[in-house]
Amino acid sequence: MCRQPQSEALGNRPAESVKCSPAQCCVVSIRWLRQTSHGVHHHTYHFAIVYVVTVERNHFESQGFVLRKSLFSATEVAHARDWLSSQDPSKLLKTWTESEPGVPLAIYSVVHEVTNPIGQLATDSRISMIASQLMSEETYIWSSKVNMKAAWCGAVEYYHQDFVYWRDRGYPSDRMLSCMVFLDSHSLRNAALHVLPGTHLSGLLAHEPFTNLNGLSKLMIPPQSLDRLYETHGICVIEAEPGDALFFHTSLVHGSSHNISPHRRMICLVQMNTRSNQPTAVPTAAKSSNIRRAEAEVKEARRRLQYFEEKLRRQLGSEEVTFGAPIPKEERH
Ligand SMILES: O=C(O)CCC(=O)C(=O)O
């Protein structure tokens, strides 16, 4: 579901749906015979070749994203999703910052390096085939994760361009993209991804630092800039079914809200770089970016600690109720 830029929506034009191209795919089967001392064995190997059609490439180039329906079958996705749902979250958690209130495992990170069903999905060649065709160049995965967006309390992702993080790690250009594989039904009701079409052509926009729920230093595009971007670009809510895959440019502005619905909204995000876009000054760039972020986190943690210690001290040292506004007169001496 897309909302047109405000200037175009003035004539009460209805919101348009995202147009999706039919999947372009063929399955190739190779059959061979192997003779051993036990006899002749037949082997068949099936693999899918996926093609990007012109309408998809044009949509990606002009809008910054394209939704490929049914890249994976419902069965393939169910296999990965059910495997993950059956795991002990504490075994997959790498640090407590990957959990959230009410959600023991909110992010399952670096999944392209594991051999379980989620890792197999993330590294499936159909993703890189499409990514490489969209970028007209070989791509490779350099990062990946599953965002759980749990039912009732999955957390917000403020609007940002992914490239704001990658640039700081030394990637010279934004010739990068992500593939979001939908593991659950995905719509407005369970905190769908929102994108501002065409913003990938805006260059790197100014972001503001903020501290997230877990005290991590993050970056967001401030509301005043979003107002302006919305006027020009409008907004699209991505609606998808399990097995669909959204390919989006690293400079596309995107975000999603808290999921307070009863429906989980799990996605697997595969982040890819083009082969020619090799990061420079690694690990210096990544290290200094880490230091900047960690310094901001420590500074904010100290500020909060100071505030809370003072709050505690005031209450311990007073006969009066000192916080928890409103303090009704019955609670005052
Ligand atoms: O899951 C989402 O809605 C957004 C994911 C995202 O932007 C991120 O993890 O960087």
Tell whether ligand 1 has an atom less than 6 A from the beta carbon of residue 157. Answer: yes
Q: CATH number of 2-21+53-280: 3.40.190.10, 3.30.470.20, 2.40.30.260, 2.60.120.620?
A: 2.60.120.620
Q: What is the pLDDT of residues 288-311, one digit of tens each?
A: 999 999 999 999 999 999 999 999
Tell whether ligand 1 has an atom less than 6 A from the beta carbon of residue 181. Answer: no
pLDDT at residue 288, rounded to an integer: 93
Please say if the pLDDT value at position 17 is more than 80. no
CA of 269 to the centre of ligand 1 (A): 8
pLDDT at residue 5, rounded to an integer: 66
Please say if the pLDDT value at position 13 is more than 60. no
Please say if the pLDDT value at position 11 is more than 50. no
pLDDT at residue 243, rounded to an integer: 97
Mean pLDDT, residues 183-208 taken together: 98
Q: What is the pLDDT of residues 42-69, one digit of tens each?
A: 877 777 788 899 999 999 999 999 999 9
Average pLDDT over the chain reads 91
State the closest ligand 1 atom to the C-alpha of 191, by its place in the atom list counted from 1.
Answer: 3
Instruction: For residue 104, say if its preceding peptide bond is cis, omega within 30 degrees of 0.
Output: no
Q: How far apart are CA 296 and CA 142, in angstroms?
A: 25
pLDDT at residue 119, rounded to an integer: 98
Please say if the pLDDT value at position 21 is more than 50. no
Dihedrals φ, ψ of 255, to 5°? -175, 175
Q: How far apart are CA 57 and CA 237, in angstroms?
A: 20
Give the pLDDT band (50/70/90) at residue 6: low
Residue ranges covered by each domain of the chain: 2-21+53-280
Tell whether ligand 1 has an atom less than 6 A from the beta carbon of residue 218. Answer: no
Please say if the pLDDT value at position 133 is more than 50. yes
State the closest ligand 1 atom to the C-alpha of 145, by its place in the atom list counted from 1.
Answer: 9
Share of the chain above pLDDT 90, in %: 78
- E strands, the chain, are 2-3, 25-36, 39-50, 65-68, 107-109, 139-147, 157-160, 176-182, 194-195, 208-211, 217-220, 235-237, 245-249, 254-256, 267-274
Tell whether ligand 1 has an atom less than 6 A from the beta carbon of residue 254. Answer: yes
Tell whether ligand 1 has an atom less than 6 A from the beta carbon of residue 121. Answer: no
pLDDT at residue 222, rounded to an integer: 98
Residue having the nearest C-alpha atom to atom 8 of ligand 1: 157
Give the pLDDT band (50/70/90) at residue 16: very low
Please say if the pLDDT value at position 136 is more than 80. yes
